[in-house]
Structure 1
Amino acid sequence: MLLTTYDFVIVGGGTAGLVLASRLSEDPTQRILVLEAGTDLSEDISIKTPGLYHSLKNTEADWGFRSQPQRHLKGRTLDLNQGRGLGGSSSINAQVFAPPTWKSLDTWDSVLGNRGWNRNSLKEYYARAFTFPLVDQEFETVLGVDGWTKSTQRGNGPIQLSLAGDAKHPIRKAWADTFRAKGMYMGSNPLCDVSDDSAMIGSFSCLSSIDPVSKTRSYATSAYLKTDALLHPVKDRPNLLILPGASVEKILFDGVDAKRATAVQYKHNGKTLTASPAKEIILAAGALQSPKILELSGIGIREILVKHGIELVKDLPVGENLQDHLVCGVSFEAVDHLETLDDIARQEPLAVSKAMEEYNSNKTGTGPLTHIGMHTYAFLPIMTEPDSRDAIRARAYYEIAKRSALNPKEPSAAYLSGTGQVLHPVDPDSDSPVKPVPGKFITLSILPSQPLSRGSVHIGSSDPSVAPIIDPNYLSNPIDAEIMAQQMLYLEDIANSPPLSSLLKHPLRRRDPASHITNMEEAKRFAETTSVSMWHYTGTCAMLPEEAGGVVSHELKVYGVEGLRVVDSSAVPLISTANIQSTVYAFAEKAADLIKQEYGLK
């Protein structure tokens, strides 16, 4: 049924947008329109198959953005991938479902001034988004998840989680036992235990948004548009219209003093159209696109809008405060008998053919394409004494940085393992290998949890078809470079620690000779040369008090205008401890409730 009038217009059918569409359309009296620039790629085998996610980069499923040259990364430009199509980035991400620390969520309220946004208010929304996999107690030790059966918050939401891949892969138990010996093992599932802050330091097995039964990607499209409790597909609700191929150009406003968002202007099938909601417009285009749409609409920094001849509606720091995680890793050669994904990485015809046949021949899916090789994680503080501790302390001017960067009870980095070699950018003047090399590898990587560097994303033209100018400004804050280097140095200690060390060849052999780092300067140089984005963009339309540089209030309403909210990762005020997809789902779930409560909806 084609709707002609709407209560809500949602700009963006990505992760947050489809959560909102599903929840708001639960009330049959409400008419919902979702405008999505991309298409419905839910039947694409590359999206469905977990192990093929790398093949989605720079395809029609990806906006394919590039950063500005990064001054602190040797002038490199980085790929900044963002999902384009129904499901947004949840359709192309690495399917890692790592939680934030609960203390970091508390800072949204206590430090950043967002009333009602803390662990106590958000824990139910995390649980509402996912269903935690059942684990037989007898297999807990093998899986490296001792104590998880005692967890209470298992969730019953649409996203289906699993401990993807071979449950008996030795890296799970080896990782758990290695950190257990160091006194840093998480005894419970970090998604479940919201009361024990000590549970947020140490190692844990990595959950993935991969359906444990079908072995396919579980994401916003497959989960939130699936059949509801009444056995009706959500996407077929008569009060919900999802319109792919609709490129939003700008938001239109009425009023002289009190501005109200009245319509969305978009292009569809070559025609310029408008959609006018009775209640409000919800912007959910993501951290790299929502700022662009606001600026094209007249909401942003005055000087930028004047430069491009755009009439000012409201002067706000739109596009500032861009945050992202860098990741840097070292691939160590593994023992010959270990199962890895290296033959797939090398695209060996026999291995690829066998993997595809194995995955497709069984309805439940088996083999190397059922996962991405990422089985384990750890949240750790700085593990070695910093070379310039006084300088770090002096520069830690944010209260959050003081609490996390130097606190031995809070993580300053997330560590992860991957069963296979990782290709990274290389110094053109080095002998570093560009392509996959022979052998089997385990890659140990780190990402700084709470980077202090801040970047920006702004329009470079008043033409809506022109991509935004994105400058993440990575490692511009010297604290980030110090912490990253310190954590990189600790990778060697982990690789040499038993029983994990028994899975590696000794003396340690590295895929890239340049990754043999022994001091801070070498660690910094390697990070500057090889680090890449984790695609965890947040903060560009930050939920903060207006006087503190916020764009939206704690109700997610854009300051200075009526009828307009932002609900996506751009409004998340502080980057998560690790991967952000779990936080975006919870964020959108809570936003849906805020909207329902305001309008008295079911």
Structure 2
Amino acid sequence: MSPINYISHLLLLLLASVCSAKVFNSVGQLPTTEFDFVIVGGGTAGSVLASRLTEVSNFTVLLIEAGPSNANILDSEVPFFWQNLQGSRYDWNFTSVAQPALNNRTLAYARGRVLGGSSSINAMFYTRGSRDDYDRWAKVTGDKGWSWDSLFPYFLKHERLTQPADHHSIVGEYDPAVHGFNGMTFTSLPGFVQEIDPRVIQASSGLGGPFQFNIDQNSGTPLGLTYFQGTIGNGTRSSAATSYLGANVVKRPNLFIVLDTFVTRILPVTQGNSTKPVFNSVEVLVGGNTTVLHAKKELILSAGSIGTPHILLHSGIGDSDELKQLNITPTLNLPSVGKNLTDHGLIDVSWVANTTSIVDLINTNATVRAHFLEQWKETGTGPLGNGFGNNIIWMRLPENSTAISEFGDPSAGVNSPQYEIVIAALGTSSTGDHLVGVGNAIVSTASRGTLSIPSNNPTDAPLIDSRLLSSEIEMVFARESIRSARQFMAAQAWNGYILNELPATANATTDDELDAYIRETVISAWHPVGTAAMSATDAGYGVVDPDLLVKGTTGLRIVDASIMPFVIAGHTQTPVYVIAERAADMIKDTWVF
């Protein structure tokens, strides 16, 4: 660092140390336009990076978030209220293009537009997937650092497993050997026992086989019935913003956070004799005008599987021929940008239950809702401290399945589930019936979609084409997930409690009838990944190398779910935390001498 730059750096840190507001509402309030690291996206990955990089006191870090602060959002704090956030002002409110495999329906695509990103609005599932998922990453990238064994210390590093809100004994409900207890993100087992929970365990015991109890889904071998683990601490959501950007982090003099700031594109510069384009500047839109911010060391995109490729394409990074058709000047030909979009589908099936549980009335009775909300506010306990169901079954087709031999197996290996069944008390129907339901997610997918842009205007919404369930094997998984759910709900443990399956699915028994129901009702599980996928350093495809630096560039790194070459067989927020934790160490190793 030159003497002039060193003095400027010291002046910036001194100014920051006396500045009372470290979270800014516009770029015009920032004390400078130049920082060591500029992170685009204050979501799950961006929050981790901002926290970890500012542990190095002489790094200056700017975190740019398109949405508002996560503070004082009751629906985000109360786990049970998570569904209120989809379609709200804290959601980007994306919609897919028409899906031919789903009767040309369009799908809502919830993505968090708030500090903490989707970790501030999601259903808080803490699932790691299988060890095979990460070993496949390591194999395809040629980097053993992405294997399960190599990443396992990062799972422990980021997690702070704590007692559930009701402080019931969790002995025998999880394996402490596979968890971290001193990390940043609070996790816990369910803090409110649902009326159906004992029957779920009894059904598992009675059926055995693929329904047998598995003490911990996060051991790397998740198959079987297991207890839900969620990003919840003391009955309250633990998001990337609350955990990694707590008051002790935000007050650091080298961290700057700017909210409500929309990034339009990143900009290349000519630097010396470099044969690679150097990206060290980001353009943001402020009141109809643009402002440019600069990174002295690295520009990091953490805008997610939708936002990151959207920014890359508008910056001229993508398929050059496609960009020229939109009157965008290509800056780097990377045809894989926006390709490889992979997602999970979700299907619901419900049964009428013989119960009068008052808890089921939370969404239909204002008095009951107010009572439980008051309980939550006073103690953090009660049904509002839970997100969804308390148990999950991870399943595969039988090894001798003719479907696998005919259509192939897109899963990472024998430890990886092909579909997921989440069991929950659903509340009451419009007719007043009490319901028990399952959410069936197809977690091993062969379909690949695209993220593209309709024009050269960065404010136009992206075109999301997930091509959900467009492969035959996924339809097989979907059908069998419903049949497996029916088998489970027909167990003796439910006698006298489960009355009947709702007509919407009860009359669907043949493959064709089930397919019709699935295609008409499946939704996105909001697990998009892969749109800026990593590949081996010498691969002729992919967007980033295994160190997450964008191929063919200098100064530009991507750290978010878009870099996953394959989606894990589980919910995707946990691997994003781990990706960001490893990336932070890689960045520190690059710049700390």
TM-score, structure 1 as length reference: 0.87
- For residues 5-154 of structure 1, what are the structure 2 equivalents within 5 Å? 5-111=34-140, 113-134=142-163, 146=172, 148=174, 151-154=177-180
Distance 1:49 1:495 in 2: 29
**Change over 3 Å in CA distance of 1:114–1:461 after alignment to 2:** farther
TM-superposition CA deviations, 1:380-414 (whole Å, max 9, x none): 1115985xx25x42432xxx62754xx5x642111
Distance 1:385 1:334 in 2: 35
Secondary structure class of the residue paired with 2:217: coil
Distance 1:503 1:62 in 2: 41
Amino acid at match of 1:243: V
| Cα displacement (A) at 1:300 | 0.4
TM-superposition CA deviations, 1:543-601 (whole Å, max 9, x none): 11363531001000111111001100111111121211111111111111111111127
Distance 1:165 1:135 in 2: 4
Residue 497 of structure 2 corresponds to which residue in structure 1?
Answer: 504
**Change over 3 Å in CA distance of 1:410–1:283 after alignment to 2:** closer
Residue 21 of structure 2 corresponds to which residue in structure 1?
Answer: none
| Cα displacement (A) at 1:246 | 1.3
Aligned to 1:525, which of 511, 516, 519? 516
Secondary structure class of the residue paired with 1:204: strand
Aligned to 1:417, which of 411, 415, 423? 423
Residue 468 of structure 2 corresponds to which residue in structure 1?
Answer: 474
**Change over 3 Å in CA distance of 1:454–1:21 after alignment to 2:** same
Q: Indicate the larger mover: 218-227 or 171-180.
A: 171-180
**Change over 3 Å in CA distance of 1:486–1:273 after alignment to 2:** same
Q: Does 1:297 align with 2:306?
A: no
Aligned to 1:313, which of 314, 327, 331? 331
Secondary structure class of the residue paired with 1:419: strand
Contact in 1 for aligned 2:347/2:439 (Cα 8 Å): yes
- For residues 271-286 of structure 1, what are the structure 2 equivalents within 5 Å? 271-286=289-304
Residue 173 of structure 1 corresponds to which residue in structure 2?
Answer: 198
Q: Does 1:244 align with 2:270?
A: no
Secondary structure class of the residue paired with 2:266: strand
Residue 452 of structure 2 corresponds to which residue in structure 1?
Answer: 458
Distance 2:554 2:261 in 1: 24
Secondary structure class of the residue paired with 2:101: coil
| Cα displacement (A) at 1:281 | 0.3
Distance 1:402 1:420 in 2: 30
**Change over 3 Å in CA distance of 1:514–1:134 after alignment to 2:** closer
**Change over 3 Å in CA distance of 1:41–1:152 after alignment to 2:** closer
Amino acid at match of 2:238: S
Residue 282 of structure 2 corresponds to which residue in structure 1?
Answer: 264
Contact in 2 for aligned 1:384/1:486 (Cα 8 Å): no
Secondary structure class of the residue paired with 2:215: coil
| Cα displacement (A) at 1:119 | 0.5
**Change over 3 Å in CA distance of 1:128–1:84 after alignment to 2:** same
| Cα displacement (A) at 1:538 | 0.4
Q: Does 1:589 align with 2:585?
A: no
Residue 579 of structure 1 corresponds to which residue in structure 2?
Answer: 571
Q: Does 1:599 align with 2:564?
A: no
Aligned to 1:210, which of 194, 210, 232? 232
Q: Does 1:486 align with 2:471?
A: no
Amino acid at match of 1:206: F
RMSD over aligned Cα atoms: 2.3
Contact in 1 for aligned 2:214/2:223 (Cα 8 Å): no
| Cα displacement (A) at 1:477 | 1.3
Distance 1:395 1:502 in 2: 37
| Cα displacement (A) at 1:368 | 2.7
Distance 1:307 1:450 in 2: 35
**Change over 3 Å in CA distance of 1:290–1:105 after alignment to 2:** same
TM-superposition CA deviations, 1:344-394 (whole Å, max 9, x none): 33x32222232333323x1x22333222331111111115985xx25x424
Q: Does 1:322 align with 2:341?
A: yes
TM-superposition CA deviations, 1:1-27 (whole Å, max 9, x none): 344231100001111000000000001
TM-superposition CA deviations, 1:455-480 (whole Å, max 9, x none): 11111111111110111011111111
Contact in 2 for aligned 1:539/1:574 (Cα 8 Å): yes
Amino acid at match of 2:373: M
**Change over 3 Å in CA distance of 1:116–1:470 after alignment to 2:** same
Q: Does 1:188 align with 2:215?
A: yes
**Change over 3 Å in CA distance of 1:106–1:503 after alignment to 2:** farther
Distance 1:515 1:70 in 2: 25
Contact in 2 for aligned 1:68/1:471 (Cα 8 Å): yes
Q: Structure 1 unaligned runs (5+)?
A: 228-232, 423-434
**Change over 3 Å in CA distance of 1:23–1:439 after alignment to 2:** same
**Change over 3 Å in CA distance of 1:67–1:503 after alignment to 2:** farther
Contact in 2 for aligned 1:3/1:239 (Cα 8 Å): no
Contact in 1 for aligned 2:132/2:412 (Cα 8 Å): no
Distance 2:358 2:344 in 1: 29
Contact in 2 for aligned 1:542/1:570 (Cα 8 Å): yes
Residue 230 of structure 1 corresponds to which residue in structure 2?
Answer: none
Distance 2:101 2:55 in 1: 48
- For residues 439-454 of structure 1, what are the structure 2 equivalents within 5 Å? 439-454=433-448
Distance 1:281 1:489 in 2: 48
Residue 356 of structure 1 corresponds to which residue in structure 2?
Answer: 373
| Cα displacement (A) at 1:277 | 1.0
TM-score, structure 2 as length reference: 0.89
Distance 2:213 2:398 in 1: 17
Aligned to 2:243, which of 220, 223, 233? 223
Distance 1:516 1:210 in 2: 38
Residue 427 of structure 1 corresponds to which residue in structure 2?
Answer: none
| Cα displacement (A) at 1:259 | 0.6
TM-superposition CA deviations, 1:219-239 (whole Å, max 9, x none): 011111114xxxxx2012110
**Change over 3 Å in CA distance of 1:326–1:543 after alignment to 2:** same
Amino acid at match of 1:190: Q
Distance 1:25 1:356 in 2: 37
Distance 1:462 1:101 in 2: 40
Identical-pair percentage: 29
Amino acid at match of 1:72: A
**Change over 3 Å in CA distance of 1:440–1:385 after alignment to 2:** farther
**Change over 3 Å in CA distance of 1:402–1:44 after alignment to 2:** closer
TM-superposition CA deviations, 1:515-563 (whole Å, max 9, x none): 4432222221111111111111100000113635310010001111110
